[in-house]
Amino acid sequence: MVPMNAVLLLSFLLFALGVAGVLIRRNALIILMCAELMLNAANLNLIAFARHSGTPAGQAFALLVMGLAAAEVAIGLAIVVALYRKKDTVQVDDINLLKG
């Protein structure tokens, strides 16, 4: 068995990667992917600890999260496409009509 602290560390690295991506990248699609990465970091925790304790709840939760993530991607892509049709760009730094 892998020690649980290692799992936590790995998931934290994944999570931090996701956060960093959201903060650094400018492409809306990649930001979206990074947000999904954060969800996967959480999934890793859920699955590993569910396996660790031998109960199925966490694994079922992870499946549910995957489904939700897919729905989120679908909606996100739709919005990004709508934006692209309007502004011809998916760079988030180019959209700041609303501010102040």
Could you tell me what percentage of the chain is helix, strand and coil, using 3-state DSSP and rounding each to the nearest 5?
80, 0, 15
As a whole number of angstroms, the distance between CA 55 and CA 3 comes to 18
Closest separation between CB of residue 81 and another protein, Å?
6
In the complex, the smallest distance separating the C-beta of residue 83 from another protein, rounded to whole angstroms, is: 5
* 57-87 and 28-53 helices, crossing angle to 10°: 180
To another protein, the closest distance from the beta carbon of 71 in angstroms equals: 6
**Least distance (Å) between residue 55 CB and another protein:** 5
User: Token pair for residue 3?
Assistant: 């020690």
CB neighbours of 54 closer than 8 A, spacing ≥ 6?
Answer: none
